[in-house]
Amino acid sequence: MKRIFLAIATCVVLGSCSKDFLNQSDPNALSVSDYFASENDVLLAVNGIYQAIRSADCIGENSGLWLEERSDNTGRNDYSNSGEPFQFNDFSVLVSNSYLKSHWAALYETVSRANVVLSNIDKVSFSSNDTKLGYAAEAKFLRALMYFHLVRQWGAVPLVTKQLTTSQEVTAYTYRVADTAVYAQIIADLKDVLDSPLPNFQTGDKIGRASKAAANGLLGQVYLTMAKTIDDGQSTAHLQDAKTYLEACYNMRKFGQLSEIAYTDVFSVDKKSSCPELIMQIVYKQGDATYSSSIAANNQAAGETINSQKEATGVGGNVTADLIDDYESGDPRMEFSVKYANASNVKDYFITKFRDASDAAGPNGYGGNDWILMRYADIILMLAEVNNYLGDQTTAIAYLDQVRARAGMTDYATASQDADYAAKYPTLRLAILHERRVELAFENQRWYDLLRTFTTDELVAYFQAKDPSRYGNAIPQHFSTKDRYYPIPYDEYKLNPTGMYQNPGY
Give the pLDDT of the chain (506 residues) as one tens digit per residue: 444 444 333 333 333 333 343 333 444 445 776 899 999 999 999 999 999 999 999 999 999 999 999 999 999 887 666 689 999 999 999 999 999 999 999 999 999 999 999 999 999 999 999 999 999 999 999 999 999 999 999 999 999 999 999 999 999 999 999 999 999 999 999 999 999 999 999 999 999 999 999 999 999 999 999 999 998 667 799 999 999 999 999 999 999 999 999 999 999 999 999 999 999 999 999 999 999 999 999 999 999 999 999 999 999 999 999 999 999 999 999 999 999 999 999 999 999 999 999 999 999 999 999 999 999 999 999 999 999 999 999 999 999 999 999 999 999 999 999 999 999 999 999 999 999 999 999 999 999 999 999 999 999 999 999 999 999 999 999 999 999 999 999 999 999 999 999 999 99
Classified as helix, coil or strand, 449 is: helix
Q: Alpha-carbon Rg of the chain, whole angstroms?
A: 22
* φ and ψ at residue 467, rounded to 5 degrees: -85, 110
* DSSP conformational letter for 317: S
The beta strand positions in 218-307, using DSSP E, are 278-282
Neighbours of 285 (CB within 10 A): 17
Query: Is the distance from CB of 352 to CB of 105 less than 8 angstroms?
Result: no
- 186 in Cβ contact with 147 (< 8 Å): yes
Q: Which one-letter amino acid corresponds to residue 92?
A: S
Render pLDDT for 207-262 as a digit per residue (tens, 0 to 9): 999 999 999 999 999 999 999 999 866 779 999 999 999 999 999 999 999 999 99
Is 140 in contact with 114 (CB distance < 8 Å)? Answer: yes
pTM: 0.94
Task: Give the 3-state secondary structure of residue 131.
Answer: helix
Beta partners for 374? 280
387-412 pLDDT, tens digit each: 999 999 999 999 999 999 999 999 99
CB 223 within 8 A of CB 242: yes
Contacts of 429 (CB under 8 A, 6+ apart): 385, 388, 389, 453
Give kind and range of the element (H or E) at residue 102.
helix 98-120
Distance CA 13, CA 417 (A): 56
Residue 163 and residue 8 in contact, taking contact as beta carbons nearer than 8 Å: no
CB 345 within 8 A of CB 256: no
Q: In this structure, what DSSP letter does residue 486 have?
A: P
Q: Residue 316 pairs with which residues in a beta bridge? A: none
Domains of the chain with bracketed CATH: 1-182+480-506 (1.25.40.890), 295-369 (no CATH)
